[in-house]
Amino acid sequence: MRIAVIGTGYVGLVTGVCLAAKGHQVTCVDKKQGIVEKISNLQAPIYEPGLEKILAKVVGSGNLAATTDLKKSILPAEVSVIAVGTPQGEEGINLEYVKNAAREIGAVLKDKADYHVVSVKSTVVPSTTDTIVKDILEAASGKRVGEFGLTMNPEFLREGKAVADFMNPDRIVIGAYDDKSFAVMKEVYAGFAVPIIQVNLRTAEMIKYTANALLATLISYSNEIASLCEATGEIDAKEVLAAVCLDKRFNPRVENNLVNPEMINYLQAGCGFGGSCFPKDVKALISFGRDRGCLPRIISATMKVNEEQPQRILSKLEGKFGSLAGKKVAVLGLAFKPGTDDIRESPSIAFITGLLARGARVWGTDPIALENMRQAIPQVDGEIEYTKDYKRALQGADAALLVTPWPELISISPERYVQLMGFPLVVDCRRVLDKEILERAGAIYLGVGLV
């Protein structure tokens, strides 16, 4: 099929490249000429493992092209996918880019005789597609929905694993205005041997938010249990949660082997969630509920616990010194998780700003996210400095916070901490290090959910 993908950010580019790899003729549309040129030159404008290799293949085969000309891409297409950003605004998500895309698509549909399906893939709150998007499309095209198709097709991509998630999904959700719209989108996914779920537009929107809010809630629940363990003493939250996860309702046995589903990875104490999805989606759902007179109490608490978690850890660290003023603190890992250079809502931001506010000297290190963090929190000599070399960050440090569990950071030997640091206090913000081994080497261990 011929498909136009509007927006070449994280979701749009992964969607376009992967659909092209499935044999569709895809055109990616972006307003920035620089991004279009990068794609045309076989370069991915975002970091995502495995993406650039597939991009080079599909551009080379002619299955994927990039352009700034939206009209030229939509006129021959059977489907257009809205995959633009929906950033967090003061009062919920900002729909400016979605509205503009719908308006521009509608203007092209006005001159298009063939049936065309508009599919919203951007994450939007329930009732957005069947009211705001539909109304704009109808006004701009002079047509009624039914003359063109309308669907909402949410994405379930994890940064760092997005290509695998798209090519091997758990399920495909298609919210459709009518059966004709659904039939076209079902053809888009004809090469996927997974359940394809047909629902209405609002249900598709809610499925996306519910999925992310549930995972975020599991993380905050784990961190709240960790706080109770710390307050009680002589309890290790890691042991508690590990035992809970052996319940067959979480972790069933098949032929006497544990399944170990990924869901239980979210039932672990740590420094909280970040990234472009969980914080924004939880906040949007809270705002959405408040506007409708139904305040979501559990997910409101989920957000509050998450916002407080880095500060709780910093308070524990400060308690070890009395004051952090003048102390050198190494922040190991800046991306919100391994496998990405994305620092949006990363716990490392809260740690760095909190440390600076307490008068500490901060050295941040990360394999690939340094430039993004430099843009978010500029380097200031003597206050905040960045280096790709973790050894420089640790040299003479009074404390080290392991924030992002990159393999190369997890594997730092206990002896290295002791040799390099002025005072070898290691704060395990992700509970991935071995306390006993560190302490035998002479380091001082401080972990979440453990006193």
Please state, in angstroms and rounded to a whole number, the distance separating the CA atoms of residues 21 and 31.
24
The structure tokens 């957005």 sit at 128
Three-class SS of residue 79?
Answer: strand
Beta-bridged to residue 327, according to DSSP, are none
Q: In Å, what is the CA distance from 410 to each residue of 91, 167, 205, 429?
A: 39, 29, 37, 11
Helix 33-40 and helix 51-61, axial crossing angle in degrees, nearest 10: 80
Establish whether 429 is a catalytic residue.
no
Q: 270 with 222: CB under 8 angstroms?
A: yes
Please state, in angstroms and rounded to a whole number, the distance separating the CA atoms of residues 328 and 355.
10
Structure tokens at 111: 């001159």
**Active-site position among 18, 28, 229, 277:** 277
Q: In Å, what is the CA distance from 92 to each residue of 206, 283, 289, 300, 377?
A: 15, 7, 10, 14, 25
Structure tokens at 180: 């004709």
Question: How would you classify residue 396: left for phi > 0, otherwise alpha for psi between -120 and 50, otherwise beta?
Answer: left
Please state, in angstroms and rounded to a whole number, the distance separating the CA atoms of residues 101 and 108.
11
- Contacts of residue 444, Cβ cutoff 8 Å, sequence gap at least 6: 320, 423, 424, 425, 426
Q: 55 with 96: CB under 8 angstroms?
A: no
Q: 13 with 28: CB under 8 angstroms?
A: yes
Of the candidates 339, 347, 284, 307, the one whose C-alpha atom is nearest the C-alpha of residue 122 is: 284
**Active-site annotation, residues:** 277
